[in-house]
Amino acid sequence: MRNLLTWISFGLCSVAVFALACNKQKDVVTEPIVFKAPDGWPATVYDFNANPITNAGFALGKKLFYDGKLSKDGNFPCGSCHQQFAAFSNYDHDFSHGFNNQFTTRNAPALNNLAWQSAFHRDGGISNLDLQPLAPITAPNEMAETIPHVLAKLAADPDYPALFKAAFADGAINTANMTKALSQFMLMLVSADAKYDQVKAGTASFDVNEAAGYALFQSKGCTNCHAEPLFTNNAYVNDNLPVDPVRNDVGRMAITGDAADYGKFKVPSLRNVAFSFPYMHDGRFGSLSEVMSHYAQTISLNAGEQDLLIAFLQTLTDSSLTKNPLFSPDVDVPQVHIHN
């Protein structure tokens, strides 16, 4: 009898262990996802207190980021124009494709280090990261949806209600929680481990071309706008690019209504710039060489110097961002299981 009981309990335990093993995703205790500002960087702008990052919130944000449900016809998730392998820009597209064979009106920017940015869009029209997703979701030429309809689709989905419950205390599927989750995913897209960063940390060294390029980058005044370590000063600058008559994009002036802002666009970060071609607000330059030729009109830069600068810019490529499985649409986010 005693033996039988032992066997039964052993059997039950095995089933339990087996069940645990099958349910690995849910029960394995993993490291929490933590936002860490690199040492020596400026203070972040985003209000993390109002939206603390959790594994569940990040996981929800990642699912939303890659979910076509956020677009009218299901074809245009955030991730369609912000592709990880292209450093979260749109690979080889001057303009991106949106709903019903339409083009966007500006080049999709590479996403990184968003916690340090106080304004979004090429014209800085969006004043908070949480507000950013509302623009592409509702733009008729992008995702072409309405917020109430997106929320209704999420509420009717078999998975999302539980994910919202796990991510937020009130569990509500509402605008604020949806955008906060998206922010949690986007905030984690930190790029701070490029070769440049490793050189700064003393764990790698530039080759002779990269070192010469870096010296030029500083001496030619590139850092006036592309200030280290973020490689942007987040200012708005008129880059002397002729205004395209079809688009007639007045840039920052559309937001401020101030004629002094005509043709000004936000200085983009140069991090992962080798991956984020084509360049400028309208993607008019297909290569870094073309960008260099443009700047050579106002800055003294001979062909050799241009090549050296490009060699340096390539050290800003960060595979910890572009190849990190944590940000990949195909990899599940580990969940932290809290035992009460």
Partner 1 sequence: MKYPLLSVLLLTLFAACSKDNSREDKAAWLEIRLSPEMNSSAFQANANYSNIYGELLRPTSFKFYLGQFKLTKTDGSIVSLDQYNLVDFNDTASFRIRMEVSPGQYSHLQYQFGVDSARNVSGVQSGPLDPLLGMFWTWNSGYIFLKLEGNSTASNQANGKFEYHIGGFRSPYSAIRTLETDFAADESGQLGSGQTLRVNLSVQMDNFFAGAHPLRIADTATVMTPGERAAQIADNFAACFSTTNYQVQ
Which of 72/121 has CB closer to partner 1?
A: 121
176 binds partner 1, rule: CB under 8 A = yes
Q: Considering the rule CB under 8 A, would residue 127 count as an interface residue with partner 1?
A: yes
Closest approach, Cβ 192 to partner 1, in A, equals 25
175 binds partner 1 (CB under 8 A): yes
103: left (phi over 0), alpha (psi -120 to 50) or beta: beta
Among 75, 102, 138, 319, binds partner 1 (CB under 8 A): 138
Length in residues, the chain? 340
Residues 267 to 296 in contact with partner 1, rule: CB under 8 A: none
* Residue 44 touching partner 1 (CB under 8 A): no
And the tokens for 37? Answer: 């500002």
Q: How many CA atoms lie within 13 A of 120 on its CB side?
A: 24
CB 127 within 8 A of CB 256: no
Which one of 15-23, 130-138, 240-248, 274-282 is the stretch in contact with partner 1 (CB under 8 A)?
Answer: 130-138
Among the candidate windows 120-128, 203-211, 268-276, 302-310, which touches partner 1 by CB under 8 A? 120-128
**Residue nearer to partner 1 on the CB measure, 148 or 158:** 148
193: tokens are 């481990």
The residue range among 16-24, 153-161, 169-177, 237-245 that interacts with partner 1, by the rule CB under 8 A, is: 169-177
Check binding of 39 to partner 1 (CB under 8 A). Answer: no
Nearer to partner 1, 137 or 311 (CB): 137
Scanning 59-67, 107-115, 118-126, 259-267 for contacts with partner 1 by CB under 8 A, the matching segment is: 118-126
- Smallest gap from residue 45 Cβ to partner 1 (A): 11
**Using rule CB under 8 A, residue 234 touches partner 1:** no
- Chain residues 74-103 in contact with partner 1, contact rule CB under 8 A: none
A 10 A CB-CB count for 197 gives 19
274 neighbors 315 (Cβ within 8 angstroms): no
CB within 8 A of 154, min separation 6: which ones?
Answer: 69, 160, 164, 173, 178
Among 37, 45, 151, 241, binds partner 1 (CB under 8 A): 151
Q: How many CA atoms lie within 13 A of 72 on its CB side?
A: 14
* Candidate segments 72-80, 143-151, 261-269, 308-316, binder of partner 1 by CB under 8 A: 143-151
Tell me which residues touch partner 1 (CB under 8 A): 47, 50-51, 121, 125-128, 130-131, 134-135, 137-139, 146-148, 151, 170, 174-176, 179-180, 254-257
